[in-house]
């Protein structure tokens, strides 16, 4: 059985102690391994990318929850994600996890095409070289994947980390996809905690997007959940990963979360 875990960059920033958060994630991954689960980790890096852009004196523009990626932004994305990947691998390795950090750009792991000219170098949901991931899993590694892809010319594309996690879960026939960010649950009204959803169907997800209840960065997250569910994932969980042992508690259902079902 395979579990795909997406850890958002905002979850790392929102945590009171990023080192403790990564240490607790390592512990949670060890428990999954002991239960016979193979794990793939996908990470984002929004805040780190913002820091690089600020150093360049540039700012970010978002369209439908995706970062518009011009040439300068593409450089910042590459640098920011590399930093997160290195830090995450180092922390998980210190916790006893045999990590293998990789960009989606290596060995054609993630291939994509531009979403459209208004987004620049943003890629659509990528195709995944599942055989490459299968090889590393068979050697006992936990792949830690940054969401860079390449196009048909070998040029970089900036893919949304949620979309990458959903695509990997689908291609690997994962049993579980856990999307961890700094948000507890999906809400019918983002400003009203009482409208939080414990369970939402694929059909309801589409209605939420069409009605405007789901906006911004939640759109690619919930679309990734739909991708995994439609590919046969038994469980897709959206939860807050900025707390210690967020992965363990999301899987056990002991924290607020939203589960997306068929």
Task: Give DSSP secondary structure letters for 18-48.
Answer: HHHHHHHHHHHHHHHHHTT-EEEEEE--HHH
Res 225: pLDDT: 87
Cβ neighbours of residue 255 closer than 8 Å, sequence gap 6 or more: 184, 239, 240, 243, 246, 249
Q: Which of 47, 48, 147, 32 is nearest to 92 (CA)?
A: 32
Instruction: Say yes or no to pLDDT of 16 above 70.
Output: no
Q: What is the mean pLDDT of the chain?
A: 90
Q: Is the pLDDT of residue 55 over 90?
A: yes
Q: How far apart are CA 196 and CA 189, in angstroms?
A: 8
Among 145, 171, 184, 186, which Cα is nearest to 230's?
171
Q: What is the pLDDT of residue 262?
A: 82
**Residue 140 DSSP SS3:** coil
> What is the value of pTM for the model shown?
0.93
Which SS3 state, helix, strand or coil, does residue 146 take? strand
What's the confidence (pLDDT) of residue 212?
A: 78
- Quote the pLDDT of residue 125: 87
Q: Lowest-confidence range among 128-137, 145-154, 211-220, 249-258?
A: 211-220
What one-character DSSP code corresponds to residue 187?
B
Domains of the chain: 2-57+72-99+136-143+163-261 (3.40.1160.10)
State residue 78's pLDDT score. Answer: 96
Our CA angle for 195, 199, 204, nearest 5°, is: 80
pLDDT in tens, 205-225: 888 888 777 777 788 888 888
Distance between CA atoms of residues 129 and 107, nearest Å: 8
Q: Which residue has the higher pLDDT, 217 or 248?
A: 248
Strand-pairing partners, residue 257, are 239
Q: What pLDDT, on the 0 to 100 scale, is given for residue 57?
A: 92
| Span 156-165, pLDDT tens digits | 999 999 999 9
């Amino acid at each position: 059985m395979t579990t795909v875990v997406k850890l958002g960059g905002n979850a790392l920033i929102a945590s009171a102690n990023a080192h403790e958060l990564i240490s607790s994630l390592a512990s949670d991954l060890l428990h999954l391994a002991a239960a016979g689960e193979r794990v793939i980790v996908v990470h984002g890096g929004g805040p780190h990318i913002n820091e690089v852009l600020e150093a360049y004196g540039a700012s970010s523009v978002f369209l439908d929850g995706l970062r518009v990626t011009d040439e300068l932004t593409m450089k910042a994305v590459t640098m920011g994600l590399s930093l997160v990947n290195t830090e995450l691998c180092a922390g998980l390795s210190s916790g006893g996890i045999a990590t293998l950090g990789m960009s989606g750009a290596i060995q054609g792991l993630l291939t994509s095409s531009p979403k459209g000219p208004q987004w620049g170098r943003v890629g659509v949901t990528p195709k995944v070289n599942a055989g490459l991931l299968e090889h590393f899993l068979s050697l006992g590694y936990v792949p830690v994947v940054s969401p860079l892809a390449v196009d048909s010319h070998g040029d970089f594309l900036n893919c949304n980390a949620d979309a990458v996690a959903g695509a990997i879960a689908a291609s690997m026939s994962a049993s579980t996809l856990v999307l961890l960010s700094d948000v507890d649950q999906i809400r019918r009204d983002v400003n009203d905690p009482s409208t939080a959803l414990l369970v939402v169907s694929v059909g309801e997800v589409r209605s939420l997007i069409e009605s405007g209840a789901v906006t911004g960065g939640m759109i690619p997250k919930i679309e990734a959940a739909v991708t995994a569910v439609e590919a046969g994932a038994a469980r897709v969980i959206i939860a807050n990963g900025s707390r210690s042992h967020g992965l363990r508690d999301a899987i056990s259902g002991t924290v607020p979360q939203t589960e997306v079902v068929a």
